Chain A
Amino acid sequence: MAIFADHHTRLLVQGITGREGSFHTRQCRDYGSNVVAGVTPGKGGQDLDGIPIFNTVATARTATGANASMILVPPSFAADAIMEAIDAGIELIICITEGVPVLDMLRIKHYLALKPSRLIGPNCPGIISPGACKIGIMPGAIHTPGGPMGVVSRSGTLTYEVVHQLSLVGLGQSSCIGIGGDPIIGITFIDCLQAFEADPETRGVVLVGEIGGNAEEEAALWIKAHMSKPVIGFIAGLTAPPGRRMGHAGAIVSHGMGTAAAKLIALREAEVEVCEHLGELGEVCARVMAQTAM
């Protein structure tokens, strides 16, 4: 078991013929993901290593039964690509692209509420259910299949760091999701926590947050009210200066809101095991999971 992506996922890649698109399509396929189609307007009828390419998402879906799409197109085309995938009825959409204008995401967020699609990202590494399906740009080899940990994060390489530490202490992962570093994103911490809570393979969750916005505080409230499984939390940006965007568009402390300190307090109040030293995260998880098993 895993959440959102598994053996049944039939993956389509929007932007499959681009440099990033073709590279990561091959990486996902080599990991074992079932890549069934690609979309590049004007290149319909061609193929990438035998993966058929279509002009539109709708035709690709009809022809191949694709139920997930990974978007790797330039930022100026990304909002359009997301909306095209939503309209074609794709169930799981993963937008890797960084740099989508916020106002475009505002409209997309409300459009999504009217449709059954689930969006991960934008500006994210994607999702991997180790041993089953990788949709994104994360290095597959650092992951360990079989659970018990679910990982959800706003970051990319910081997530790899966390996953690597988990693998080193012998904790495998059910699914790892990078929800993205932008101010407005598709699925949230809460959506992932909810799915992890319901997933039998997941017995504990690592939540990796960072400065900016209110998502960690909202997640903390949800955890307090609904989560029976242990959650281990880490927040990046304790030392970030206010008013500056720290790389991610969403990582900014503004008007005193969105500080790491406030997020840590909220998580502690929800009885989340907070780890303040990144180097110790794997050990903290091992200790918490050992206590849970008893």
Chain B
Amino acid sequence: MHLHEYQAKALFREVGIPVPDGQVIDEPRQLLPLIDELGLPLVIKAQVLAGGRGKGGGVRLVRTASEAQAAATEILGMELVTAQTGDQGKTVRKVMVEQGIDITRELYLSLLIDRDRAEIVIIGSQDGGMAIEEVAARSPERIIRVQVNPLIGLQGYHLRQLAFGLELSPQLSRELASLLQKLYPFFMTYDCSQLEINPLVVTSTGQLLAVDAKVEIDSNSLYRHPELAALAEPDDQDPLEAEARAIGLNYIRLDGTIGTIVNGAGLAMATMDLIKQAGAEPANFLDVGGGASAEMIEKGFRLLLSDQRVRAIFINIFGGILRCDALARGVVQAARSTGLTLPVIVRMEGTNVDEGRRILAESGLTLTIVSTLTDAVRELTNLKDLQ
């Protein structure tokens, strides 16, 4: 779960991590009192869950009240398109209004999880303000990585490795140490999976300030952070994805026309690949659960039928402990109760498969029943003309 910048900064402020003074608003008329309170210049920043907001025109520095008003009016409600939003962009519903900062220097700081070493890694760079991937490509020697073993936690030598690596002055080194002594516990306490401050600025008075904040929380941990779970905003989710989550389906919307219903995440990914290999495009990833029940299949059916772009459905189910005959009855019932008119290819394999295929064949429904994945690909190849 990704937090908005304003949410992350509110949490930062609570634990004493310095951020610029500011506030989030969702209507331009809320701006005037803020100008009085914060003064000028101000920075107005679109609050959408995507990187590259600045380049997309979602961040403005304003020097007068009328500029501020114009910027807020323009950004609120705009469809912000950035490198990470896709072509449709994301609707901006909130902007963050912050005091402009007198910046002398921009650094980069992030914490993330090293999957291979099972450690926290702190990444620092002197080249703040640009994407870390860019720095990595251009001057990798300017990126400092410090590994922290979670059993010993953050120690003084980690801080020294970072500060000397970044060639910081003694005063800035102390500032950075004090910041990290708050940031590392923050990362652990809130079950972060990624935390990035870019830029981390040095102000004209020599203070460090988190001018941006990207925080991702491990969704698996939300049961112990109800206060974070409550921060999720319905507008940030694709409506079909939100609906799927509410009924316990694992669904991701894609751009194609062939809807898929699969049991198990790995098989669902492999099924998307099969569709692509047949020359068609999957409309979604949908995992109805490794031990899929007939009920879950019906739910999946209904979900796909509510997606107007779906022109055909490919069901790929491996019947294990829940046998194919039970799953076949689920498919038949789902097709009947939804009044299905789209072409459907069913590939079913596993325990009691003969009985399952017989039930499908005798259902009177116009299903295309295939027995192997190779046959499924052939049928999908025929279907791609539907697009």
A interface residue numbers (CB < 8 A to B): 27, 75-76, 99-103, 105-107, 109-111, 125, 137-139, 141-142, 153-161, 164, 181, 183-184, 208, 210-211, 213-215, 218, 234, 236-241, 243-244, 246-251, 255-256, 260, 276-280
Contacts and interface: CB of A to CB of B under 8 A. Distances in A.
27 contacts: A101-B221, A102-B193, A102-B218, A103-B150, A139-B320, A141-B351, A154-B266, A155-B267, A157-B290, A158-B264, A158-B267, A161-B267, A184-B113, A213-B116, A237-B270, A237-B272, A237-B273, A238-B276, A239-B269, A239-B275, A239-B282, A240-B272, A240-B285, A246-B265, A246-B269, A247-B250, A251-B269
Contacts of B150: 103, 106-107, 110
A141 B221 CA distance: 35
Which 7 A-B residue pairs are closest in the complex by CB-CB distance? A155-B266, A247-B265, A157-B264, A279-B373, A158-B266, A139-B320, A101-B221
A90 to B, nearest CB: 20
A164 B118 contact: no
Given A76-B223, A110-B150, A158-B270, A137 B291 contact: yes
Interface in B136-152: 149-151
Contacts of B267: 155-158, 161, 236
Given A106-B150, A110-B149, A279-B372, A139 B116 contact: no
A137 B318 CA distance: 14
A283 B250 CA distance: 31
Contact of A138 (B188, B273, B320): B320
Interface in B233-276: 250, 252, 254, 262-270, 272-276
Nearest to A248: B265
Contacts of A107: 150-151
A257 B60 CA distance: 32
B266 A159 contact: yes
B321 interface: yes
B331 interface: no
A76 B274 contact: no
Contacts of B285: 240, 246-247
Contact of A241 (B120, B254, B277): B254
Interface in B272-302: 272-277, 282, 285, 287, 290-291
Nearest to B151: A110
Contacts of B282: 239
Interface string B364-387: 000000001110110000000000
Contacts of B264: 155-158, 247
Given A101-B191, A164-B350, A279-B373, A106 B119 contact: yes
A277 B268 CA distance: 14
Contacts of A237: 269-270, 272-273
A157 B263 contact: yes
Contact of A279 (B219, B224, B272, B376): B376
Contact of A184 (B118, B219, B265): B118
Interface string B86-119: 0000000000000000000000000001011011
Contacts of B188: 103
B223 A75 contact: yes
Contacts of B269: 158, 210-211, 236-237, 239-240, 246-247, 251
A214 B115 contact: yes
A75 B272 contact: no
Given A99-B220, A139-B350, A213-B115, A156 B290 contact: yes
Interface of B: 84, 113, 115-116, 118-120, 133, 149-151, 188, 191, 193, 218-221, 223-224, 250, 252, 254, 262-270, 272-277, 282, 285, 287, 290-291, 318-321, 349-351, 372-374, 376-377
Contacts of A155: 264-267
Given A102-B218, A139-B321, A278-B373, A181 B265 contact: yes
Contacts of A210: 266, 269
Contacts of A211: 269
Nearest to A208: B266
A279 B221 CA distance: 37
A102 B188 CA distance: 10
A161 B151 CA distance: 39
Given A251-B269, A279-B373, A218 B218 contact: no
A67 B352 CA distance: 34
A157 B318 contact: yes
Given A157-B318, A160-B320, A250 B220 contact: no
Contacts of A208: 266
Nearest to B271: A278
A233 B252 CA distance: 26
B268 A142 contact: no
Given A210-B266, A243-B84, A249 B220 contact: yes
Given A137-B321, A279-B372, 7 more contacts: A101-B224, A107-B150, A137-B290, A157-B266, A164-B318, A247-B269, A278-B274
Contacts of A184: 113, 115, 118
B265 A239 contact: no
B270 A236 contact: yes
A142 B193 contact: no
Contacts of A102: 113, 191, 193, 218, 220-221
A211 B265 CA distance: 11
A106 B153 CA distance: 12
Contacts of A251: 265-266, 269
A75 B220 contact: yes
A251 B115 CA distance: 12
Contacts of A110: 118, 149-151
B376 A161 contact: no
Nearest to B120: A106
A161 B107 CA distance: 49
A239 B273 contact: yes
Nearest to B255: A241
A154 B266 CA distance: 8
B220 A101 contact: yes
Contacts of B277: 276-277
